[in-house]
Chains A and B, each alone.
Chain A
Amino acid sequence: MKPQLILLIAFGGAFLTYIFGKISSKLRDGAAVAISLALVAIFACLYGRPLQESFYWGFLGLNLSLRLDALSWFFAIAIVSLGALSIIFSLRYMRDRERTDFYYSMMLMVNAAMLGIVLSNDLISFYIFWEMMSWCTFLLISYNQHRALDAGMKYIIMSMIGSVAMLAGILSLYVSFDTLLIPQIASSLATASPGYVLFVLVIFGIAFGIKNAIMPLHTWLPDSYAEAPSPFTAVLSGMLTRMGVYGLLLITYVIGGMIGGTGLGSNVSKFNYVLAWLGALTIVVPTFIAMLQNDAKQLLAWHGIGQGGYMVLGIGFGVATANSLALAGGIFHTLNHAIYIVLLFMSVAAVQYRTGGVRDLNSLGGLVARMPVAFVGALLGISGLIGLPLTNGFVSKWMIYKALIIEGHPFLAFAALIGTWGTILSVYKFLHNMYLGQLPEKYKHLEKSPFSMQLPIAVLSSAVVLFGILPGIPLRVINKICTWLGFSSLDVTIWGFTSETGTLNTINLLAAIVVVSAVVWVLFHRAAKSVVVAQDDNYAAGAYVPRDKYHYTAGFYEPLFTMLRPYLRDVVDEFYTALAGAVRKSCGAVRRIYTGDVGNYVTYIILFLASLILVQLRWRPW
């Protein structure tokens, strides 16, 4: 299987789907699912088989080449799996919407572009796929119209800023080293001056930081997540945003020579410390802002930013201190985050689908009775998000915390941990307001979510638990990635780690929890029977509770907000908005040059001529 063939399937599939869509919608759905599943199968078969190939005969004299190694396989399998699941999820979700052909082909296109990104072996094809991903994403975000348009604009402008920075960085590397093949750059960069290395790091840091929504560059994310069609939000949050992480890992690889060899260049280390601190900032602030949100997708979106912080923290810190545990934690968290955030967005989407697009937390409630599968998905999702033991999020967070503590950076650890508590508060609100509490009258007769939605939710739910119990499965691959990046190998077992300063054993934990739960359950079962009563038949201390609706869920954390609200403004976003306003205003001012009076225009011409002559006459600079 050649890598270019995979890309051909992926991109060709996208086009084909569009064409099929013109013929019949059934055919299109089938094709979309088949192609995405075929990609999953292909990558599953390719496990552990490294590939490398030049696939293009020279793009402006640059050889474009592809490769498949541990890192790219890891990301690729996640991309195709999540892509396939969200396509399956879309089958019902997108039915009866308009422009579905466009939607499906763009979904496949985005997946293909992401595959391209992780498979590319040189920076220029990386950039090409990166840009394709950006504009496809833009189109998909804008799909929902209305408010989505502003979200899309915000996304694309920031994304463009990132990509022009990246373009400058890439070409600067090319000019310096006369190659764009990543391995060759990696070997060349070891000899570069520290200042140049820092420049490269910063410029790529900006590009990937925007994509990964690191704190001062995050403002595009909440609106985009919230406004994009939900199955795409899943892809966007799960993998697309995390292409930033992939990028950071790529930089890590490129500077890997310095890590393994003579020790870290001080600039590299400093940069990564900054990155780690930014990651910590990214964990804390958005998590607290998330508590303020009343829109389910906005809330999750802010968590998307916050969780990105963990990855950046892990990777940045891991590189800064050459600590493979933190690095592996960061990488692992990427995968875990992808799984549970997709799960969460899907459960929101399932609710949206049945309630007709409602995602305002204050108007939902009690849906556990109507949509149990979605509830279980959401429950496991938030467990993963919090990092409750036996879910996947726990393991990766544990790795990062441990590395931070053992390396002696308790403040970073504190930021990460306090982020977790913020997470608990906000995701509980999410779960409670959506699935628990009282079921509003109008939702009394909702149907269960359809099978094509339950299936992805079930798959992802089991993945959350599976990786929580047996973290060794992905960790082996991640360990391979770490060694490929030039880090020392970890002592990974199927159930966790062993180490001097603290071991993790998920099997013990599992055993303990299962046994204990069983005991408790038996105890519970042996006790006197209980009577199931109607939900609203409850004790209100004599107060009158209106039967039809009482949304006591509105303003869930009001006491906290009255304290915190002044501090939880998104200052950065306000700043950017002001900046955009200023740019707009100055553009308007510049336009006034064109006064419409031809006399002025002729004056400009003569002025130009006269100033040319005058300058040459007076200073003779030319």
Chain B
Amino acid sequence: MRKIISVLLLSIVAVGIYLSVSHIPFGAPKTKVGGHYVEQGMEETGAANMVTSVVVIYRGFDTLGEVTVLFIAAVGLAAVLGIAGQQGFPREPASFVLRNACVVIFPLILLCGTYIFAHGHLTPGGGFQGGVVIASAFVLSYLGGRERRISKRLFGSVESLAGLVFVTTGLIGLAVGGYFLSRILPNGRPYSLLSAGIIPIIYIAIGFKVGSELAGIIDNLIEETK
């Protein structure tokens, strides 16, 4: 019964969406805003990766919100799970190979993540992606039977500081340029690492933030399910 009703309702919704979507031609150039970014973005922001320039510069405010959402998730998760402080917990040690492989790979993954967010304005990738990669390093280390836990204090501080960096950068922009997140730094030479104004700063901050937050979330969940 329930299924039938659901199917019925969903098919109505599907029909409605079809009627609307059929007015959105697939693969045709149509977005004036997007077009503008593609054409002018390089000049305006100095970033080669247009997605990055959109994410950080044009729609930087969304990104700030996005970072906040993640922050909320981390804080909220901790609040919901009611985790007070950190305590170590004994674990079955992993096999020698696994443990040592993890030790070897761990810094490499960190490095990779750092690379990804530091080059966000030049290549595909960016703060979020890099941050996730960094977090994956911690997951690996947990999987690899690491007994030591990450320092909540440290990670919490990193989270906060990274967030503050983002906000402060924006506010400096406001103070100097009159707009929040305005370009206080020169665009620099295209395609070089130190280019694209404030994008690297923000992306680095985001990278740290996302990495520490996701790691924190995983840590919390692990503790809860122990």
Q: Do chains A and B touch in the complex (CB under 8 A)?
A: yes
Contacts of B6 in A (CB 8 A): 603, 606
Contact indicator B13/A617 (Cβ below 8 Å): no
User: Once the chains bind, are A617 and B9 in contact (CB under 8 Å)?
Assistant: no
- How far apart sit A614 and B19, CA to CA, in the bound complex (Å)? 12
Contact for B16 among A599, A603, A607, A613, CB less than 8 A: A613
Which residues of B are found within 8 Å of A593, using beta-carbon distances? none
A617 touches B16 (CB 8 A): yes
Pick the most buried of B8, B12, B13, B16: most chain A CB atoms within 10 A of its CB: B12
**Docked-complex contact A599 and B13, CB < 8 angstroms:** no
Within 8 A of A (CB), among B149-206: none
Q: Determine the distance from Cα of A607 to Cα of B7 in the docked complex, in whole angstroms.
A: 11
CB-CB nearest in chain A for B8: A610
What separation, in Å, do the CA atoms of A607 and B16 have in the docked complex?
13
Of all chain B residues, the one with the shortest Cβ separation from A606 is B9
- B189 CB to nearest chain A CB (Å): 51
Most chain B beta-carbon contacts within 10 A, residue among A607, A610, A614: A610
- Residues of A within 8 Å of B13, CB to CB, are 606, 609-610, 613
A613 contacts B10, C-beta separation under 8 Å: no
Give chain A residues whose Cβ lies under 8 Å from the Cβ of B5. 603
Main secondary structure of the interface of B (DSSP, over half): helix
Interface membership of B15, Cβ < 8 A: yes
Smallest Cβ distance from B162 to chain A, in angstroms?
Answer: 35
Report chain B residues within 8 Å CB of A614. Answer: 12, 16
Determine whether B2 belongs to the interface, using a CB cutoff of 8 Å to chain A: yes
A606 to B7, CA, bound (A): 11
Q: B19 — nearest CB in chain A belongs to which residue?
A: A617
Instruction: Give per-residue flags for B1-44: 1 if the beta carbon is below 8 A from chain A beta carbons, else 0.
Output: 01001101110110110010000000000000000000000000
In the bound assembly, the distance between CA atoms of A610 and B19 in angstroms comes to 13
Residue in contact with A603 in the complex, picked from B9, B15, B19, CB distance below 8 Å: B9
- Report if A613-B15 is in contact (Cβ < 8 Å); known contacts: A606-B9, A606-B10, A607-B9: yes
A607-622 at interface with B (beta carbon < 8 Å):
607, 609-611, 613-614, 617
Closest to B11 in A: A610
- The CA-CA distance from A613 to B18 in the complex, in Å, is 11
Nearest chain A CB to B1's CB is how many angstroms away? Answer: 11
A-B contact count (CB 8 A): 29
Inter-chain CA distance A606–B16, complex, in Å, is 12
A599 touches B9 (CB 8 A): no
A558–B2 CA distance with the chains assembled, in angstroms: 65
Residues of B close to A610: CB separation below 8 A:
8-10, 12-13, 16
The residue of chain A having its C-beta at the shortest distance from the C-beta of B10 within the complex is: A606
Looking at chain A's contact residues, the main secondary structure is helix
Contact residues, A35-59 vs B (CB, 8 A): none
Task: Give the CA-CA distance A603 to B2 in the complex, in Å.
Answer: 9
Interface residues on B, range: 10 to 19
Q: In this complex, what residue of A is CB-closest to B12?
A: A610
Partner of B2, one of A599, A611, A613: A599
Q: Complex Cα distance A606/B8, Å?
A: 10
The interface residues of chain B lying within 8 Å CB-to-CB of A607 are 9
Tell me the bound Cα distance from A394 to B136 in angstroms: 98
| Minimum distance in angstroms from A66 CB to a CB of chain B | 54
| Chain A residues near B19 (CB-CB < 8 A) | 617
How far, in whole Å, are A613 and B17 apart by their CA atoms in the complex? Answer: 9
Report the Cα distance A60→B15, complex, angstroms: 48
A156 to chain B, nearest CB (A): 43
Per-residue interface assignment for chain A, residues 587 to 614, with 1 indicating a CB less than 8 Å from any chain B CB and 0 otherwise: 0000000000001000100110111011
Q: Which residue of A lies closest to B13 (CB)?
A: A610
Shortest CB distance A602–B (Å): 9
Compute how far the CA of A65 lies from the CA of B135 in the bound complex, rounded to whole angstroms. 71
| Chain A: minimal CB distance from B214 (Å) | 27
Chain B residue contacts of A617, Cβ below 8 A:
12, 15-16, 19
CB proximity of A429 to chain B, nearest CB, Å: 66
CA distance A614 to B12 in the complex (A): 7
Query: B175 to nearest A CB, angstroms?
Result: 43
Contacts of A599 in B (CB 8 A): 2
| C-alpha gap A381/B21 in the complex (Å) | 83
Cβ distance B10 to chain A, nearest Cβ, rounded Å: 7
> Quick one: closest B residue to A618, CB to CB?
B12
Central interface residue in A603, A606, A609, A613, by most chain B CB within 10 Å: A613
The chain B residue with its CB closest to the CB of A609 is B13
Complex Cα gap A610–B15 (Å): 10
B36 to chain A, nearest CB (A): 33
- The interface residues of chain A lying within 8 Å CB-to-CB of B8 are 610
- Within the assembled complex, what's the spacing in Å between the Cα atoms of A610 and B7? 11
Docked complex Cα distance between A610 and B13 (Å): 5
Most chain A beta-carbon neighbours within 10 Å: one of B10, B15, B16: B16
Q: Give the distance in Å from the alpha carbon of A617 to the alpha carbon of B13 in the complex.
A: 11
| Binary contact readout A278-311 vs B (1 if CB under 8 angstroms, 0 otherwise) | 0000000000000000000000000000000000
Query: Which residues 355-397 in A have Cβ within 8 Å of B in the complex?
Result: none
CA distance A603 to B1 in the complex (A): 12
| Chain B residue nearest in CB terms to A616 | B16
What is the chain A residue whose CB lies nearest that of B16?
A613
Report the nearest A residue to B17, measured CB to CB.
A613
Please measure, in the bound complex, the distance between the C-alpha atom of A610 and the C-alpha atom of B2, giving whole angstroms.
Answer: 15
- A520–B10 CA distance with the chains assembled, in angstroms: 98
With A and B bound together, what is the CA distance between A599 and B2 in angstroms? 10
In the complex, what residues of B have CB within 8 A of residue A603's CB?
2, 5-6, 9
Q: Closest CB-CB distance, A443 to chain B, in whole Å?
A: 68
**Chain A's nearest CB lies how many Å from the CB of B59?**
28
Interface centre among B6, B9, B15, B16 (most CB of A within 10 A): B9
B9 surroundings in chain A (CB, below 8 A): 603, 606-607, 609-610
A457 → chain B closest CB, angstroms: 68
C-alpha spacing A614/B14, complex, angstroms: 11
Complex Cα–Cα for A611 and B15 (A): 12
Please give the distance in Å from A354's CB to the nearest CB on chain B.
Answer: 64
B15 contacts across to A, CB distance below 8 A: 613, 617
CA distance A607 to B6 in the complex (A): 9
| CA of A599 to CA of B9, assembled, Å | 14
In angstroms, how far is the closest chain A Cβ from the Cβ of B3?
11
A607 to B12, CA, bound (A): 10
Question: How many Å lie between the Cα of A603 and that of B3 in the bound state?
Answer: 11
Taking the closest CB of chain A, its distance from the CB of B168, in whole angstroms, is 40
Q: 28 A-B residue contacts at CB 8 Å?
A: A599-B2, A603-B2, A603-B5, A603-B6, A603-B9, A606-B6, A606-B9, A606-B10, A606-B13, A607-B9, A609-B9, A609-B13, A610-B8, A610-B9, A610-B10, A610-B12, A610-B13, A610-B16, A611-B12, A613-B13, A613-B15, A613-B16, A614-B12, A614-B16, A617-B12, A617-B15, A617-B16, A617-B19
| B positions within 8 Å CB-CB of A | 2, 5-6, 8-10, 12-13, 15-16, 19
9 smallest CB-CB distances across A and B, nearest first, come from A613-B16, A610-B12, A610-B9, A606-B9, A614-B12, A610-B13, A613-B12, A607-B9, A609-B13
Task: Identify the A interface with B (CB < 8 A).
Answer: 599, 603, 606-607, 609-611, 613-614, 617
Known A-B contacts: A606-B9, A610-B16. Give 17 more (CB < 8 A). A599-B2, A603-B2, A603-B5, A603-B9, A606-B6, A607-B9, A609-B9, A609-B13, A610-B8, A610-B9, A610-B13, A613-B13, A613-B15, A613-B16, A617-B12, A617-B15, A617-B16
